[in-house]
Amino acid sequence: MRRGPTSRGVNDISADNILPTDQPASPHGPKETLPKLMLGAIGVVYGDIGTSPLYAMKESFLGPHPLAVDRLHIFGVLSLIFWSLMLIVTVKYVAVAMRADNKGEGGSFALLSLIARNLAGKKWTASLIMMGVLATCLFYGDAMITPAISVLSAVEGLTIVEAPLQPLVIPISIAILIGLFLVQSRGTAKVGILFGPVILVYLAALAALGITNILAHPEIVGALSPSWAIRFFIINPKLAFLALGSVFLAVTGAETLYADMGHFGRRAIGWSWLTLVYPCLALNYLGQGALLLGHPAAAENPFYLMAPDWARLPLVFIATAATIIASQAVISGAFSVTHQAVQLGFLPRLRTEHTSEKAAGQIYIPAVNWGLLFMVIVLVLGFRESGKLASAYGIAVTGTMLITTIMLGFLIFQVWKWNRLLAATTIGTFLLVDGTYFASNITKIPDGGWFPLLVAAVGFTVLTTWAKGRQLMRERLAESALPLTVFIKSAAASVHRVLGTSVFLSTSAETVPAALLHNLKHNQVLHSRVLILNVKVEEVPHLPAEKRLEVHDAGDGFYRVILHYGYMEEVDIPKDLARIDTCGEPFNMMSTSFFLGRQKLIASKRRAGMALWREKLFAWMLKNSESAMEFFKLPTNRVVELGSQLQI
């Protein structure tokens, strides 16, 4: 790959070749007023972390490592929850990580791109790339578990209202989840406006329940002192360490703040957290602690038992609505992450539908949607209780957070170049907190923590196999590639030319595509205007229109054309070709033919590259990827595919 003004393309990407380019600030981003953006952030960003009170306290006392429901443990757990939210969400994400935006966008890929753009060529760049890919794979495990545990924990409230309703929990949960995934193809634009108000009502309920119970035991406010967390560790360090695996459930969803930054902006997300979400969560957790002080038996479900009998059924409906919204947010995130992985060359082309004419980020990927639904139903039927699912939940999130901290360390030390003492103190604190939580969650592997690790391992294998396979395929094609300038001099003048325009998609604008050579071999003609087209996806989310086109006249009717896109943008070749005015007459799609090369991969042991099973996996993925015609939005009646065999 060139490490200059341009980056890589959809057809030119590998895990060890992912360096970005400097681009001007993106014109995309939130443009609404701060109150509207805050309302949207509350509805979308905080659905996941907002539903944690449904199960965090319950799991802390009844989880894999149960605690005695006494004053020390109640105060100790509450202190750990409060200060974990403070350090991880407020300090790490709101104050530090959200400063690391890539043209306004956040998340693992954005952070990776930001670091790689500034630290091109460093020896540990490849390791950082692998860490970013691993964080993405861990996210998929989170995306499967979040809908299952959130909806299950909400519906389980029915058993508090009426114990005989227990047999209905699983069927109702599955019905809600199926309905949720069925409506994904319609997009969130129509119902998105309802998300903020619903979560506002839910947060108000959290605060009201918390305050009501705090008034009965006002001494619970003392749990906000970090001394209780310290005392918990001093008196029983082993049990306190194991309890962190359940306490961490209060922080799950924090990564969403950073990932969704491009939708709402840092100010809206930060202000809504500090002024509303954090206070409401703190009040609710304190209320649950106050309830447990007076009624230790309430540990079976302190969230619902905080409410009076008459309010529990309405609370079930409010909580269920909140969990559906939380699930919607993580499902949409899975679509977005997958789209970025496709654009950056870590996944094959997948059919992607845009569900909104106004919001480019609202997309629907059927393969991801149905795959997630299948796995979520498997989780519900396999674990059957939110408590058992909680054991599988934390390890994916802690792993992602730990990787984010490591990448932030490289950014702070190498790019931002903070004062060494300040940088070491900041990153050291984050590593201590994240590392401790990750170590505690590892103990839950036998109880379900193996599931997200299995998902991450499979995902990592798939993503790296595709990236490596594309690299090998390009290398094999390059071995027999002919420079375009040589071809023009030797063949252009001696071949019969016909009217019209031909466009040949290529991984490089400098060489002759295999499809062109095959066409010339079989048809023995060339069009009067020939475009060698290369699509490049840059390591920035969006590109301004003036940076889209790059056209070079190669002579004798040949043109080298490079189309540049941001990794969150949609590729539309006909639309952008129509804007070219430097290649003679305007483009007429009815007189333009698009030629695509389609390789049939033959796995072989004879050539060094990948293990044979990975070559077969790559060949299967290539065969089942969406056709370039649909992905690039080429007119179906103007495309010619020319196949060939390739041994990697």
Domain boundaries of the chain, sorted by first residue: 34-448, 475-647
Over residues 26-40, the mean pLDDT reads 67
Confidence category of residue 194, pLDDT binned at 50, 70, 90? low
- b/e 283-312 (16+ beta carbons within 10 angstroms → b): bbbbbbbbbbbeeeebbebbbbbbbeeebb
User: How does the average pLDDT of the chain come out, rounded?
Assistant: 84
Query: What's the angle, vertex CA 622, arms to CA 620 and CA 140, rounded to 5?
Result: 80
Over residues 205-234, the mean pLDDT reads 96
For residue 5, the tally of other CB atoms under 10 A from its CB is 11
pLDDT at 500 over 50: yes
pLDDT at 476 over 60: yes
Confidence category of residue 318, pLDDT binned at 50, 70, 90? very high
Residue 561 contacts residue 532 (beta carbons within 8 Å): yes
Confidence category of residue 539, pLDDT binned at 50, 70, 90? confident
Q: Which helix (H) or strand (E) holds 49?
A: helix 47-50
CA atoms within a 13 Å half-sphere pointing along the CA-CB vector of 247: 29
For residue 378, the model assigns a pLDDT of 94
Single out the residue of 125, 98, 113, 489 nearest to residue 262, CA to CA.
Answer: 98
Q: Write out pLDDT tens, residues 360-381.
A: 556 788 999 999 999 999 999 9
For residue 8, the model assigns a pLDDT of 36
Q: Write out pLDDT tens, residues 114-123.
A: 887 777 667 7
- b/e 502-530 (16+ beta carbons within 10 angstroms → b): bbbbbbbbbbbbbbbbbbeeeeeebbebb
Distance CA 351, CA 47 (A): 28
Structure-model confidence comparison of residues 605 and 199, the more confident one: 199
Please give the CATH topology (third level) of the domain spanning 34-448.
Answer: Amino acid/polyamine transporter I (1.20.1740)
pLDDT at 617 over 60: yes
For residue 648, the model assigns a pLDDT of 67
Over residues 150-161, the mean pLDDT reads 89
Over residues 421-438, the mean pLDDT reads 94
* % the chain with pLDDT above 70: 90
* % the chain with pLDDT above 90: 36
Q: Write out pLDDT tens, residues 159-175.
A: 888 888 889 999 999 99
pLDDT at 568 over 80: no
Out of 213-222, 369-378, 423-432, 474-483, least confident range: 474-483
For residue 293, the model assigns a pLDDT of 95
Distance CA 207, CA 217 (A): 15
Confidence category of residue 187, pLDDT binned at 50, 70, 90? low
Helix (H, G, I), strand (E, B) or coil at 313: helix
Q: pTM for the whole thing?
A: 0.80
pLDDT at 83 over 80: yes
Confidence category of residue 569, pLDDT binned at 50, 70, 90? confident
Confidence category of residue 420, pLDDT binned at 50, 70, 90? very high
Phi, psi of 29 (to 5 degrees): 140, 175
Single out the residue of 290, 369, 358, 367 nearest to residue 328, CA to CA.
Answer: 369
For residue 41, the model assigns a pLDDT of 81
Residue 266 contacts residue 100 (beta carbons within 8 Å): no
pLDDT at 234 over 90: yes
Residue 565 contacts residue 337 (beta carbons within 8 Å): no
Residue 376 contacts residue 179 (beta carbons within 8 Å): no
Q: Which helix (H) or strand (E) holds 170?
A: helix 169-182
Residue 498 contacts residue 528 (beta carbons within 8 Å): yes
**345's torsion region: left (phi>0), alpha (psi -120 to 50) or beta?**
left
Residue 557 contacts residue 501 (beta carbons within 8 Å): no
pLDDT at 23 over 60: no
pLDDT at 42 over 70: yes
For residue 607, the model assigns a pLDDT of 62
Distance CA 144, CA 598 (A): 34
Phi, psi of 533 (to 5 degrees): -105, 130
Over residues 110-133, the mean pLDDT reads 78
CA terminus-to-terminus distance, the chain? 20
